[in-house]
Amino acid sequence: MLRYLAPVVSLLLIALPLRAGAQVSSFALDNGMEVVVIEDHRAPVVVHMVWYRAGSADEPPGASGVAHFLEHLLFKGTENMAPGELSATVARNGGSDNAFTSYDYTAYYQRIAADRLPLMMKMEADRMVNLRLSETDVATERDVIIEERNQRVENDPSSLFREQKNAALFLNHRYGVPVIGWRHEMVALDQSKARAFYDRYYAPNNAILIVAGDVRPQEVRALAQQYYGPLPANPDLPARIRPQEPPQTAERRLVFRDARVAQPYVSRSYLAPERDSGAQETAAALTILAEILGGGTTSVMAEKLQFDSQTAVYTGAFYGGGALDKTSFDLVVVPAPGVSLQQAEDAMDAVLADFVKTGVDEAQLARIKMQVKAAEIYDRDNVERLANRYGRALTQGLTIADVQDWPQVLQAVTADDVMAAARAVLDRRQSVTGWLMSEEATQ
Amino acid sequence: MIRFVFALILVVVALPARAGVEIKQVTSPGGITAWLVEDHSIPFTALELRFRGGAVLDPEGKKGVASLMAALLEEGAGDMDARGFARAAEALATSFSYGASDDTISVSARFLSENRDAAVDLLRQSLVQPRFDDDAIERVRAQMLSNLRSDLKDPRAIAGRAFDARIFASHPYGQPVDGTVESVAALSRADLQQAHRTLLVRNRVFVGAAGDITAEELGVLLDQLLGDLPTGQATLPGPADLAFDGGVHVVDFPTPQSVVLFGQPGLGLDDPDFFPAFVLNHILGGGGFESRLMSEVREKRGLTYGIYTYLGDKDYADLWQGSVSSANDRVAEAVEVIRQQWAEAAENGVTAEELQDAITYLTGAYPLRFDGNGPIAKIIVGMQLQGFDREYVNTRNARIEAVTQADVARVARRLMDPALLTFVVVGQPQGLAAN
């Protein structure tokens, strides 16, 4: 009968102001492992995730891709489980599992019937400390990640272009190195490099457990203490300090040519501040700025470049504030036939200059805020997405309170805030402009 | 109104029996039917519409018209132009998406309870009174042409088009849903209006709704939303003849990793052997890390990042298809391993342990899909398109549990045919002669 409790509880939450979302609670184990529980009792499902505060930007120089390689190797057995046994066990219980790696985190998850949670914890805790690898498995899996790079990057000129552009945007930070790794370093990855990364970062005091779905916090607490509680903290866990960007004082430009490009485009990335704990206002303004400039049919760039003139077939602006260190604010313009990349770029810059002069349309700002408000309702339909949101935040220097405050911070953004953020971030000296074009193109 | 809930048979690893969705059938006063899963815990509704008859009804020489028509539904309706319509949707915080596939026109919508009537009226205008303004047509056409030009240099898109053209030949499935640069460039406003009249017809619509709406409210909504649509009788195509020849067909394209699509004839949902075949596919290539092909091609040999197979149940063709990507100098080995595995399964079926693992997974995973308004609306509209009754959610797991090792062996022998297993390879593969 549990599922009939949910509507009552949810109705109470809706009556609260904007902070109200799914029911979230948190606590920590004695060994330093943080635990977040997100309740959703509509279906008897649980998502069990362990996030490590270790991603590609934490890799040692020369070993790019090792965080992601290790993620693959964590499916290759422990002192207690044969290679592949964890995934096979999950499947045998009707669940599915996977993992993912980014600049700031590596995460492992299973989606399964809620009553299988203890087994998931047992296996995930085991591979946090008991990894055991064979040389054969390591060599074969290195071939797999090379094929993954082939599929994601080498076969796609846009991806190759983005790699070059990111490398140019970050002068000193590891965000300039691709998560999957540079190919020449990937082929040299081996067991010792993976093991070193594992020993350094895989420990309960560097991990966050997120359990979302048809569970109660008391029950999760008891299970977490039983399975993760006995794991020893790593006393030598290094402070998370990466090389930071120096002042950027020179605009960068690049042209990437590839015969496989059918549709040229111009894209610009500006170095931008990230969301910081307790100080998310600038990031909120940039989030809304991206919507205003390039969030779709009613955005400023679409208006000027796709409606008032037929300069572009597509325009967009993007800002991902989630990052431990500095991030980027990105613009893209895909020119219409007959429009050169130079003309497209000039038109984009004219739109930006005009926007900085004319300012924000208050009606557009109000519509965006209505959508921010509605997103809190829609988001509750997908508990896995909520779990990911908390996982990313907690591995990127934010707190649970920051996540819960975020909608309010967005609501509080004024037109003046947006313009101040725009003037600060739209600085060509802190930017890379890239042209993606075909080899035979004549621009 | 009949109640249906999951009745899971409890075996050793069965799920707890409290999983449950109740699918109601709703018939509007005007006679339009829908399936509904009511859940008032979050104040919004997810609505899925499917109109049977998609790009397969594109007239000769006008391939891509269903796709362009669907893309234009949100680009101006009633007295709003494209931007007016978008602003109205933003102000209501509702979202609509429209698409065309071979077999359907699909419309997905979600709207808040607090402004449901206004959101539904906006959606209605896009379905009933789309404007097809000339400037909107040209703007969206240019986007579609840009994508079509990109497809010509994308190995995955090239492979899909080459596979369909070869296997389906002159059937409408043989041509891409989005048409070609030439066909799309030639479409007129009258073509789009005609496609709209042909495809958005109330006698071919299927509706799934989930969330904060009662049966009575949904009944009223259905008439408001769809009552003004015409009925239509466009002749749907017949079954496709499938030209599988067992060959390897190489499309030369300079890129480091070859993209491979492969397939052979499949079987329909109404075939008595469907469930054994479904379980067999799961063991062969449908089941994530655990499948035979994933194990042989990725885990043991490192030849790919991923390999998958699936039973493709299109309205007018049943296929068994798969895909893999491998570096040009390794793809020949991947193709060889796939062929060996195909022959091995055809001859020897599967082991008792594989069968048990597959059944446990498939029956255990099924109720986990019903975990939100969005997913539920999609599932229940899909069930209607596939011709299932609401009882299916109760019987589906029992049908999978009834599959025996002998069933799988029989179906493998009957269905799997290495001599028909056909490969389309896009790239510059080494050691793979085109034949």
User: Does B411 have pLDDT greater than 80?
Assistant: yes
The predicted structure's pLDDT at residue A168:
98
Segment 43-72 of chain A within 8 Å of chain B by CB = 43-45
Average pLDDT of the residues in B321-333: 98
Residue A236: CB atoms within 10 Å: 8
User: Does B287 have pLDDT greater than 80?
Assistant: no
Convert the pLDDT of each residue in B372-386 to its tens digit.
Answer: 999 999 999 999 999
Provide the phi-psi class of A354: left if phi over 0, else alpha when psi is between -120 and 50, else beta. Answer: alpha
pLDDT-derived band of residue B10, with 50, 70 and 90 as boundaries?
Answer: very low
- According to DSSP, the β-strands at A106-113 and A265-272 are unpaired
Q: Which of A6, A154, A378 sits opposite B41 (nearest CB)?
A: A6
The predicted structure's pLDDT at residue A22:
65
Helices in B349-428 by DSSP H: which ranges? 352-365, 373-385, 392-401, 405-415
Q: Find, among B76, B69, B72, B121, the residue nearest to B94 by Cα.
A: B121
Dist. CA B199–CA B186, nearest whole Å: 20
Chain A neighbors of B295, CB-CB under 8 A:
84
- What's the length of chain A? 443
Q: By the 8 A CB rule, do B383 and B370 touch? A: no
Dist. CA B284–CA B269, nearest whole Å: 19
Q: By the 8 A CB rule, do B189 and B134 touch? A: yes
User: Does B342 have pLDDT greater than 50?
Assistant: yes
Got the DSSP string for A332-347? EEEEPTT--HHHHHHH
Active-site residue, A71 included: yes
Q: Which of A7, A141, A307 sits opposite B41 (nearest CB)?
A: A7
Instruction: Report how far Cα B214 is from the mean position of its chain's Cα atoms.
Output: 28
Does B255 sit within 8 Å of A88, measured CB to CB?
no
A34, A39, A59, A71: the active-site residue: A71
Coil, strand or helix at B314: strand
Chain B neighbors of A155, CB-CB under 8 A:
155, 255-257, 259, 325
Tell which wins on pLDDT, A400 or B20. A400
Residue A298 in contact with partner chain B when CB distance is under 8 A:
yes
Q: Which of A44, A92, A142 sits opposite B357 (nearest CB)?
A: A92
Probe site for chain B from A42, A149, A381 (most B CB atoms < 10 A): A381
The predicted structure's pLDDT at residue A439:
84
**Element (DSSP H or E) covering residue A422:** helix A415-425
- What's the complex ipTM? 0.91
Mean pLDDT is lowest, of A433-437, B10-14, B65-69, B278-282, for B10-14
Dihedral, CA atoms, A221, A223, A227, A233, nearest 10 degrees?
0
Residue A316 neighbours by CB under 8 Å, 6+ apart: A294, A295, A301, A331, A332
User: Does B232 have pLDDT greater than 90?
Assistant: yes
Chain A neighbors of B305, CB-CB under 8 A:
144-145, 147-148, 150-151
Residue A130 identity (one-letter amino acid): N
Mean residue pLDDT of chain B comes to: 94
The predicted structure's pLDDT at residue B113:
98
Segment 144-183 of chain A within 8 Å of chain B by CB = 144-148, 150-151, 154-155
- According to DSSP, the β-strands at A106-113 and A96-101 are antiparallel
Q: Which of A88, A263, A297 sits opposite B83 (nearest CB)?
A: A297
Chain B neighbors of A7, CB-CB under 8 A:
39-41
Convert the pLDDT of each residue in A70-101 to its tens digit.
Answer: 999 999 999 999 999 999 999 999 999 999 99
- Of chain B, the percentage scoring pLDDT greater than 90 comes to 93
E-strand ranges in A214-326 read 252-257, 265-272, 312-319
Low-confidence ranges of chain A (pLDDT < 70): 1-22, 440-443
Convert the pLDDT of each residue in B52-105 to its tens digit.
Answer: 999 999 999 999 999 999 999 999 999 999 999 999 999 999 999 999 999 999
